[in-house]
Structure 1
Amino acid sequence: MSACTRLRRRNGFTLVEVLVSVAMLGILVLPLMGIFTQSLRSVHAGRAQVTAAFHAQRLMDDFVLADAAGRVPLGRTAIDGTFSFERTVRTHPATGLTEVVITVFWQQGAIARTLRVVSLVAPR
């Protein structure tokens, strides 16, 4: 074997070696892609849950600060294009406390989601 042939054999990888290494890399990366996709779904679901909790807290604060005329039940009312809410109000005669239930609704893919916040408000 000449020196030129030996030099050529040491300078690179064969096509088979490159294809095998690319296949092995693909096999290793595919499970990581699934984990990444699931992580993105979890982040999106968490963001929607936090936004719903923010809306519920804001609506509860609005109710507490409202005068008697503003303390009424409300049917399903849109907040924005994604979220809507419903407010039920019930007074407990024995204690005089008002129970306020705010339910926030939103759609996440094909699944309808809800978040419910319940609070007791003392009379003014």
Structure 2
Amino acid sequence: MKGLILIAHCSKRSLSNNEFLDLVSEVENKDKKFAKIEAAFLEFATPNINTVVKTFIENGIREIYFYPYFLNSGKHVSVDLPNIINKLKEDYPLMEFRLLSHFGKSNKISNIIIEDISSYLKDGES
């Protein structure tokens, strides 16, 4: 079975964290490729990555994908997350872990921005 963990940094504002949790719930409701989809926070909030991984393993998930919900490839994306995944590979050698490209690397983002901005313009405006 496959599981997906969407990872966000975290905010000191619980409202911001709840927005992310709502998004993850929406993704889970729409996607049928994964047996389970959960949120994890990198810092300051729960659940963290290790907690979600342990829960997945306890529920029989043996292949875990990590999707960083980050716009840019800063230190968390380029250093911290790979280090966390490498440690998980050491701790759980029979598991399969795959770190996916971060959200900001998607070639669809520019189209989403253009479409979203266009929705605010009146007909005929350019």
Q: Shorter-chain-normalised TM-score: which range?
A: under 0.3
Structure with bigger strand share is 1
Structure having the higher Rg: 1
Q: Which has the higher helix share?
A: 1
